[in-house]
């Protein structure tokens, strides 16, 4: 177990933790959730009141459970709160409650699904999103430069640099990294049912699912134009990648008020390796048969109802799915060099 991040302790909120309070019970939707609160005392009687910070952790995310003791120590040293999720959708409720409790910053500890729920609850509230990546892919965190060791991520949180973050919507569901139809929705559905987590488990699911990746005929409407084509998968991205370095939309920015659509052609013996290589090297737009578009709104039609994935979470959706974006829906903590992009 690594030592607490020294610089994060020095900079956080100008308060010193005092005593660990008792575990309390907090209830939402009928499900009790333990959360831990550490009291923090000002350095002097003239110090300004601390801005409250809450960490919301998904113990089921790829790397969270074994590091909960380390996370607990970090949160205690920051004089913050830690709340643990217990079921899908719980992070959203916990984040909304944290804002009601006066938290100025809410940190999502988990993968893109946890970040999605927390960010969705913070949008439009004025609260700032922080990310402590602990998922299998961490697509949004990687795009923002918030990846690597937890001490580094905690340094980024403590530094306090923020940038605007757009919010996408797919069939009414918020997303902040990538949403999509077709093969990627199938993969998300199977991965969410899997017992094993992590990139290796995801890669194995991809290999086992290739035969199920049937062509999906779609009609895309954007900016007064229409495209008809069969696809393996269709992604609409706010960030540049799914996670794990798979960059589906290399030109995407999370603060430009636009979405990036990328439609991959059906697999055949001659294009599978090329598509995979270009996806992992950020050159997917150069692959033959790939359609890439940018815009603030897309309408995608398919033959019938089917699954839709938003940041790895799967929802039932109709034959027509509309994708829209809300510019600068909230602010997110990130490295200062990313502020200049």
CB atoms within 10 A of CB 77: 18
Note if 337 is an active site residue.
no
- Using CB atoms within 10 Å of the CB of residue 206, give its burial: 0 to 12 exposed, 13 to 18 middle, 19+ buried: middle
Place of tokens 């008020």: 257
Do the beta carbons of residue 288 and residue 264 sit within 8 Å?
A: no
| Closest of 134, 140, 144 to residue 58, by C-alpha | 134
Interatomic CA distance for residues 93 and 114, integer angstroms: 11
- Set 81, 313, 328, 337: catalytic member: 313
Structure tokens at 307: 């699954």
**Are β-strands 52-57 and 103-110 bridged in parallel, bridged antiparallel, or unpaired?**
parallel
Structure tokens at 11: 């900079």
Measure the CA dihedral 307/284/290/222, to 10°: 70
Do the beta carbons of residue 221 and residue 298 sit within 8 Å?
A: yes
* Per-residue burial over 251-285, b = 16 or more CB atoms within 10 Å of its CB, e = otherwise: ebbbbbebbbbbbbbbbeeebeeebeebbeebebb
- Looking at the DSSP bridge assignments, the partners of residue 263 are 234, 291
Q: Which residues contact 207 (CB under 8 A, 6 or more apart)?
A: none
Q: Catalytic residue positions? A: 313
């Amino acid at each position: 177990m690594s030592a607490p991040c020294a610089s994060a302790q020095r900079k956080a909120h100008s308060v010193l933790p005092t005593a660990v309070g008792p575990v309390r019970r907090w209830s939402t939707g009928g499900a009790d959730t333990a959360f831990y609160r550490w009291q923090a005392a000002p350095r002097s009687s003239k110090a300004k009141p601390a801005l409250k910070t809450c960490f919301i952790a998904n113990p089921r995310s790829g790397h969270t459970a074994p590091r909960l003791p380390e996370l607990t120590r970090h949160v205690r040293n920051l004089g913050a709160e830690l709340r643990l999720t217990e079921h899908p959708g719980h992070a959203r409720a916990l984040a909304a409650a944290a804002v009601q409790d006066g938290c100025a910053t809410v940190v999502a500890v988990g993968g893109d699904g946890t970040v999605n729920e927390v960010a969705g609850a913070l949008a439009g509230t004025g609260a700032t999103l922080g990310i402590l990546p602990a998922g299998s892919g961490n697509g949004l965190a990687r795009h923002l430069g918030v990846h690597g060791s937890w001490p580094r991520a905690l340094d980024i949180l403590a530094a306090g640099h923020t940038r605007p973050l757009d919010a996408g919507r797919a069939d009414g569901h918020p997303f902040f990294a990538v949403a999509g139809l077709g093969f990627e929705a199938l993969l998300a559905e199977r991965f969410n049912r899997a017992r094993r987590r992590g990139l290796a488990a995801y890669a194995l699911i991809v290999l086992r699912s290739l035969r199920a990746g049937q062509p999906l005929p779609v009609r895309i409407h954007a900016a007064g134009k229409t495209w008809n084509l069969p696809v393996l998968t269709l992604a609409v991205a706010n960030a540049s990648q799914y996670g794990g370095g798979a960059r589906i939309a290399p030109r995407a920015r999370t603060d430009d008020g636009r979405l990036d659509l990328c439609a991959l052609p059906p697999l055949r013996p001659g294009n599978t390796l090329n598509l995979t290589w270009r996806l992992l090297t950020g050159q997917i737009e150069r692959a033959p048969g790939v359609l890439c578009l940018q815009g603030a709104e897309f309408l995608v039609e398919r033959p019938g109802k089917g699954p839709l994935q938003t940041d790895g979470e799967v929802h039932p959706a109709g034959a027509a799915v509309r994708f829209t974006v809300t510019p600068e829906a909230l602010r997110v903590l990130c490295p200062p060099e990313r502020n200049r992009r």
